[in-house]
């Protein structure tokens, strides 16, 4: 013990900074990649979430000699750690947070509103896309700077689509209703001998939830009522589950693949359409440039097709938020706001990750549209549909919805019973807020 204590004293002595700069504590996920990006400040040359994020922070520090950035990288999604820090009154200045989680912390007065301060700092908050604004707006206030919007997409293997006769003038033929989907999937199976869909359905539940929410919204219904309760015992919810039940039952999808297996499955040409989020666009685009690859010159990506009355896709996004901290000095707050301004300017760089930009100006810009497939994805800025902010605990709820859906889709439980169980479990959570 004593040895440890002495060591502690030594370490404290060694680490006390004789540094006049303002310390800005930034806590984020997206991993660490210091081996490749440790000292790099060239944002335009960086690749991938981690590389671009690291370079942006490095560049900010280089351009602001009066600020020292304390980078706290945490394991995804980092909320257990953040919750512990907030409970111990030891919050960082800026934290990455999913839009679906913001209302939990905001409702407990743990976040600071940033709308006015960001506007004063010169961030054009009026230009936020609909999806980006809805991710951070509660009661008319903005509770953070949106980093991006992400949505599940139809990643398409064009080589297999061609083989299946589902390409017309270089564009994939996508279904416009359920009957067409099944007919095309049958045709796909007959001509290629492979399933139409590649899906991560084993030990992975997030995609079930995304599909479920998306197709409830597409039918003009909503998974939650106006007063914030689960609304799953509806014909629309039953239809959304039955759709994927039928896809599974009729072998129109790969089965028993976990997330990793489904990624390699799609890369190896095991199926036509992979249902996964915006973050994979870069990886697949890269593969399509490799000779001899199953995706060689044969990758494209689209938002979910409109199979029902409304053209919407469930979406979420990453955001910067500022936890409440009475001990934060005005200088630290100012440093944080300057960082947000700097980050907002790099919007187009961040969107090279595949995620959607948060400023309409970026989406309309030639720079962004010049990136591969972005033209196809641009409509998402208007079509992306996050859950309403009045629904708290979206994160644990997502797991329950996903697990229950999985039971119905794989046939372990009847659809009606699943929807009733799901609604009961989620309303119990919402009743006990």
- Contacts with other proteins in 33-52 (CB under 8 A)? 33-36, 38, 48-50
Binding of other proteins at residue 144 (CB under 8 A)?
Answer: no
Nearer to other proteins, 212 or 359 (CB): 212
Of 81, 222, 311, 360, the residue at the interface with other proteins (CB under 8 A) is: 81
Query: What is the smallest separation between the CB atom of 90 and other proteins, expressed in angstroms?
Result: 6
Nearer to other proteins, 112 or 166 (CB): 112
Binding of other proteins at residue 192 (CB under 8 A)?
Answer: no
Q: What's the distance, CA 415 to chain centroid? A: 28
The site for other proteins, by CB under 8 A, has a size of 74
* CB distance 265 to 249 below 8 Å: no
Binding of other proteins at residue 18 (CB under 8 A)?
Answer: no
Query: What is the smallest separation between the CB atom of 334 and other proteins, expressed in angstroms?
Result: 22
Query: What is the smallest separation between the CB atom of 145 and other proteins, expressed in angstroms?
Result: 20
Binding of other proteins at residue 427 (CB under 8 A)?
Answer: no
Nearer to other proteins, 132 or 407 (CB): 407
Using the rule CB under 8 A, give the single segment among 124-132, 139-147, 372-380, 400-408 that binds other proteins.
Answer: 400-408
Cis peptide before 77 (omega within 30 of 0): yes
* CB distance 230 to 428 below 8 Å: no
Binding of other proteins at residue 414 (CB under 8 A)?
Answer: no
Of 396, 414, 416, 417, the residue at the interface with other proteins (CB under 8 A) is: 396
Binding of other proteins at residue 13 (CB under 8 A)?
Answer: no
Interacting residues with other proteins between 222 and 281 (CB under 8 A): 254-261, 263-265, 267-268, 279
Binding of other proteins at residue 117 (CB under 8 A)?
Answer: no
Nearer to other proteins, 73 or 378 (CB): 73
Bridge partner residues of 313 (DSSP): 384
Q: Is the dihedral of CA 422, 425, 431, 433 positive or negative?
A: negative
Nearer to other proteins, 38 or 309 (CB): 38
Binding of other proteins at residue 366 (CB under 8 A)?
Answer: no
Binding of other proteins at residue 368 (CB under 8 A)?
Answer: no
Burial (0-12, 13-18, 19+ Cβ within 10 Å), 371: middle
Using the rule CB under 8 A, give the single segment among 25-33, 61-69, 118-126, 235-243 that binds other proteins.
Answer: 25-33
Query: What is the smallest separation between the CB atom of 318 and other proteins, expressed in angstroms?
Result: 10
Binding of other proteins at residue 324 (CB under 8 A)?
Answer: no
Nearest residue to 174 via CA among 275, 79, 36: 275
Q: Rounded to 5 degrees, what are φ and ψ at 192?
A: -105, -15
Using the rule CB under 8 A, give the single segment among 65-73, 226-234, 364-372, 373-381 that binds other proteins.
Answer: 65-73
Binding of other proteins at residue 124 (CB under 8 A)?
Answer: no
Binding of other proteins at residue 64 (CB under 8 A)?
Answer: no
Of 60, 188, 197, 205, the residue at the interface with other proteins (CB under 8 A) is: 205
Query: What is the smallest separation between the CB atom of 76 and other proteins, expressed in angstroms?
Result: 5
Query: What is the smallest separation between the CB atom of 116 and other proteins, expressed in angstroms?
Result: 26
Binding of other proteins at residue 110 (CB under 8 A)?
Answer: yes
Using the rule CB under 8 A, give the single segment among 131-139, 196-204, 224-232, 301-309 that binds other proteins.
Answer: 196-204
Binding of other proteins at residue 411 (CB under 8 A)?
Answer: no
């Amino acid at each position: 013990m004593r040895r440890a204590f002495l060591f502690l004293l030594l370490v404290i002595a060694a680490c006390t900074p004789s540094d006049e700069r303002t310390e800005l504590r930034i806590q984020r996920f997206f991993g660490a990649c210091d081996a490749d990006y440790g000292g790099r400040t060239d944002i335009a040359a960086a690749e991938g979430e981690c590389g671009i994020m690291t370079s942006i922070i490095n560049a900010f520090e280089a351009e602001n000699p009066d600020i020292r950035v304390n980078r706290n990288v945490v394991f995804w999604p980092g909320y257990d750690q953040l919750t512990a820090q907030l409970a111990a009154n030891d919050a960082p200045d800026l934290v990455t947070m999913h839009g679906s989680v913001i209302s939990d912390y905001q409702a407990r007065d743990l976040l600071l509103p940033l709308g006015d301060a960001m506007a004063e700092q010169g961030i054009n908050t009026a230009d936020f896309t609909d999806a980006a604004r809805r991710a951070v707006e509660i009661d008319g206030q903005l509770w953070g700077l949106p980093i991006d919007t992400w949505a599940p997409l139809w990643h398409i293997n064009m080589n297999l689509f061609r083989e299946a006769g589902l390409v017309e003038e270089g564009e994939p033929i996508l279904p416009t209703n359920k009957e067409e989907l099944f007919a095309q999937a049958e045709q796909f199976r007959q001509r290629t001998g492979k399933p139409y869909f590649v899906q991560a359905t084993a030990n992975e539940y997030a995609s079930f939830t995304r599909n479920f929410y998306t197709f409830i919204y597409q039918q003009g219904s909503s998974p939650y009522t106006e007063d914030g309760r689960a609304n799953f015992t509806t014909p629309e919810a039953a239809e959304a589950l039955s759709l994927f039940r039928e896809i599974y039952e009729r072998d129109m999808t790969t089965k028993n693949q976990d997330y990793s297996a489904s990624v390699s499955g799609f890369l190896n040409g095991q199926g036509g359409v992979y249902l996964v989020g915006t973050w994979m666009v870069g990886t697949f685009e890269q593969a399509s440039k490799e000779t001899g690859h199953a995706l060689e010159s044969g990758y494209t990506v689209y938002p979910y097709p409109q199979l029902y009355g409304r053209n919407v896709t469930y979406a979420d996004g990453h955001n910067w938020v500022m936890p409440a901290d009475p001990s934060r000095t005005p200088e630290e707050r100012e440093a944080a706001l300057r960082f947000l301004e700097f980050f907002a300017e790099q919007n187009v760089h961040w969107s090279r990750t595949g995620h959607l930009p948060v400023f309409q100006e970026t989406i309309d810009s030639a720079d962004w549209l010049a990136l591969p497939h972005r033209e196809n994805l641009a409509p998402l800025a208007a079509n992306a549909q996050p859950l309403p902010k009045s629904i708290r605990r979206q994160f644990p709820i997502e797991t329950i919805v996903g697990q229950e859906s999985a039971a119905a889709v794989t046939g372990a439980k009847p659809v009606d019973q699943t929807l009733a169980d799901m609604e009961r479990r989620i309303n119990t959570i919402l009743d006990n807020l």
